[in-house]
Structure formats: C-alpha cells, structure tokens
Amino acid sequence: MNTIDKVKLAKEASIQLAACGTELKNRALEAIAVALRAESAAILAANKTDLAAAEAAGLTGPLLKRLAFDEKKLEGVVEGVESLVKLEDPVGKKLRCTELDEGLVLTKVSCPIGVIGVIFESRPDALVQISTLCLKSGNAAVLKGGSEALNTNRELARVIAAATEKTGIPANWLQLLETRADVNEMLALDDYIDLIIPRGSNAFVKYIMTHTNIAVMGHAEGLCHVYVDAAADIEMARKVVVDSKTQYVSVCNAAETLLVHEKIAPSLLPLLANDLREKNVKLLGCEKTRAIVDMEPATEADWDTEYLDYILSIKIVRDEDEAIAHINKHGSGHTEVIVTTDDAAAEKFMSLVDAADVFWNCSSRFADGFRFGLGAEVGISTNKIHARGPVGLEGLVIYKWLLKGHGDIVADYAEGRKHFTHRPL
C-alpha cells in the first residue's frame, strides 16, 4: 500500500480511537504484552535476519548492539507496556468547566491529538515503546523505523496490530512505513498528520523540522552548560560537573561547556581538571582557563559544538550576567545548570535562563522523563510551544471545548436580553 493510503487509514482510525475508553485501551495494552511474549520466537528470528544482513553490510559494534533484539530486550519492552497500563489515562480529563449562563455549560476536555508520525533510528524497542504510548493516549501512529531493522519492525508491528484489533481497538491505527521515500511523502501530508516526532541525529531532526509544515516535537541539539558561580561549594561543583559531563557522554543532556566565575576558577579548575582527566575527558579552554590549567585552546566554534563525547570546553566569565548571556546565546534551550550557595544568584539564573530545564546544584543528567517521574517519556522537546523538556503522555494530548445548551443563541446576548454569568463550576 502506498504512503498516502496508509496515512488516510490511520486518520480514519484515529477518529474512532479517540473515542475508545480507558478500560479498552488498557485491555489492548495487556493483549500486546501477552502477544509479544507468545510470539517471541518469530520476532527474534526476524531480528536474526536483520542482524545477519547488517553484519554482511559491515555494520560495526555499537550499531549492531542497538539493532539486536534478544529475550532480555523483549522482556524489557513488555514490562514497559505493562507499566503503561498503570499510568493515568491522559484523555478525557476535565481541564476547566464554566457556566456561561444558566443551562449553558462549557467544558474543556483533554483529547488525543490525532495522528502522530514518528521517525526513529535502528533500535526496534522504540517501535513498541512509541506505538504503545500513542495507543494509551488514543492517537493513531504512523511509524518509520531504521531500515536495518525492517524485518524486526514488521514482526513487531504485525503482532501489536493483531493483538489490539482482537480486543476491539479500531483496525489500521498502527501503520508502518518502510522506506526513506515514504518519510518524504509523509512530511507533505499535513492534512492527515497532526504531529511529527523525529528521533535521531541533530542533522536528521533539523532536516525534518525544515521540510514539513506539520508541527514537530523534539530537539535537534542538546548543548547544555554548567555554570559554577563565585559562591559555589567546590566539592559539590566537582561532583556535579563530573556527573553532567561523564555519566553518559553521548546523550543530549550531557554537559558540553563549563562556565566558571573568575573568582572561583583558580581554586576549582586545577582540581576539576584532574577529576575530568581521570575520566579521560579532553579539555579545551579559553585563554584565562589555560592560564590556570594547561590545555588545548577552545575556539569560537567550540561554544556552539555539541561533542556528545569525552570533550569539555571551559570558559571563565566575569560574573553571572556574562554566564547567563553566554547560555542564552549559545545554549540549545535544553538543560542548564548553576552551582552556587547564593540563593539570589540561583533565583536570578532560574528566572533569566531561557531553557526547558534549569537546574540548581544538581547534574544536567536528571533531565529525563523517567527521572522526572513522568512515567513514560515521549521525548525531550526544546520547542517553546505545546510541550517543553522531558515530555510524558500529556504531550500527546490536546483538548476540545464542549458546550451544552438548550437552544441558546448569541443574538440574545448581543441584543442585551441575556447576560453571561461566567461562573466557574
């Protein structure tokens, strides 16, 4: 079937799916868990085919590891699906209720967005995670996974679709696209797709953002800073910087640039440089930094570089204002950290830094849906519209306004015969 027909089917299904109750959606999630376990042999066999092809094509260690889908990974995603059952349904919440006049009641109710397009890279776990998040939030899903994982993804999508349809979920709510050309077609289908969530490299996400009129939720870059203020506790600063940089270097919430107040730099930097070098971090510094600790120079380009690696650029700043200005200029609006014992400096930082996450005396690595207690993470958004930072199920819903009357007409109000009460209920 071609892309537009698949997407049209998803759109039709989305209308019915939006009206499915919590109990039905949870029953469908449970059926997915059961079916994934029951059909594990077929799924793992499909993955073996993908792995063999990938090896033959010369794929290397970490990529192969992400592509691999074994018993343990399967069990992990099944447990994820089961935990989704326990989460509160984000759909159907009364967000506001107002009596406009006697007998004329307005209710703002959360509802699914509609059709979500998700484009992700090689990991097949993502297919299960994303499709079940969409199902729980009542959205139809059009998915495109990495082409290396095509056989695994086909099996997973088949098992999930079949299990849910048996429980009474409308057919066609889950569609799998298979080629890069399909993705380009999808980007033009703004009449049918309401939101696109791209997961992948910066360049890839940027490409998606600039090639569609559909709303895109995600982040192209995670250029995060730690600013160590004059009034910082040195031991705390060392801990927070080392964790922010090295706890997991290849992720968007790892720190890339360290900003240090000039007053604390001479006492902090020699210790911190040792800590980081013990963890094999390569340091790049501004001139003032290099006067304190010998290291390679940082260039202007470094302030705009997301290394995603064991590299940290370091800049000494005159004061907090310079740190805030640097962050607002070079940061990606993802996660920004201040280390200080000065409450006023912290409050200033938290109010003037324009980022999804602004942290005080803790590691940038806490920027994550599970750590935030959101239950399940749809993604991390650096947009400033709709959802920002780690996004849970609430990022997959919008609302509609329901108004119930008894033949009420506007002419009565426009001509002064009736008056609004606007009483909150």
Cα distance between residue 125 and residue 81, in whole Å: 11
Residue 228 CA to residue 251 CA, distance in Å, equals 22
Q: Does 62 help bind its own copies (rule: CB under 8 A)?
A: no
* Whole-angstrom distance, CA of residue 325 vs CA of residue 307: 21
Residues 6 or more apart whose CB falls under 8 angstroms from that of 360 comprise 337, 338, 339, 340, 346, 349, 350
Of 85 and 236, the one with the shorter C-beta distance to its own copies is 236
Which of 63, 162, 230, 350 is close enough to bind its own copies by CB under 8 A?
350
Q: Is 231 in the site for its own copies (CB under 8 A)?
A: no
Smaller CB separation from its own copies, 22 or 98 = 98
User: Cβ distance 334 to 253 under 8 Å?
Assistant: yes
355 binds its own copies (CB under 8 A): yes
Query: Is 400 one of the binding residues for its own copies (CB under 8 A)?
Result: yes
Residue 176 to residue 328: CA distance in whole angstroms = 39
Of positions 155, 182, 221, 243, contacts its own copies by CB under 8 A: 243
Closest to 198 measured CA to CA, from 112, 77, 117:
117
Token pair of 227 as six digits = 């600013």
Nearer to its own copies, 122 or 244 (CB): 244
Q: Interface with its own copies includes 271 (CB under 8 A)?
A: no
Pick the piece of the chain touching its own copies (CB under 8 A) from 58-66, 140-148, 241-249, 270-278.
Answer: 241-249
Minimum CB distance to its own copies smaller for 117 or for 146: 117
Is 352 a binding residue for its own copies by CB under 8 A? The answer is yes
User: According to the binding rule CB under 8 A, does residue 409 interact with its own copies?
Assistant: yes
Binding to its own copies by residue 98, rule CB under 8 A?
A: yes
Consecutive H or E run containing 112? strand 104-112
Between CA 368 and CA 145 the distance in angstroms is: 22
Q: Name the segment binding its own copies (CB under 8 A); options: 63-71, 160-168, 219-227, 377-385.
A: 377-385
**Which residue in 118, 102, 142 sits closest to 4, CA to CA?**
142
C-alpha distances in angstroms, 414 versus 41, 98, 123, 417? 68, 20, 58, 8
Residue (123 or 334) nearer to its own copies, CB: 334
Positions in 113-172 near its own copies (CB under 8 A): 113-114
| Residue of 73, 356, 376, 393 interacting with its own copies (CB under 8 A) | 356
Backbone angles phi, psi at 310, to 5 degrees: -75, 60
Measure the CA–CA gap between 255 and 235, rounded to whole angstroms. 18
Contact pick of 147, 277, 328, 418 for its own copies (by CB under 8 A)? 328
Stretch that binds its own copies, among 123-131, 163-171, 263-271, 378-386 (CB under 8 A): 378-386
Contact pick of 106, 162, 188, 230 for its own copies (by CB under 8 A) = 106
Pick from 126, 129, 150, 164: nearest CA to 32: 164
Q: Specify the residue, 166 or 420, whose C-beta has the smaller distance to its own copies.
A: 420
Q: Residue 196, SS3?
A: strand
Site membership for its own copies, residue 344 (CB under 8 A): no
| Closest to its own copies by CB, 81 or 140 | 140
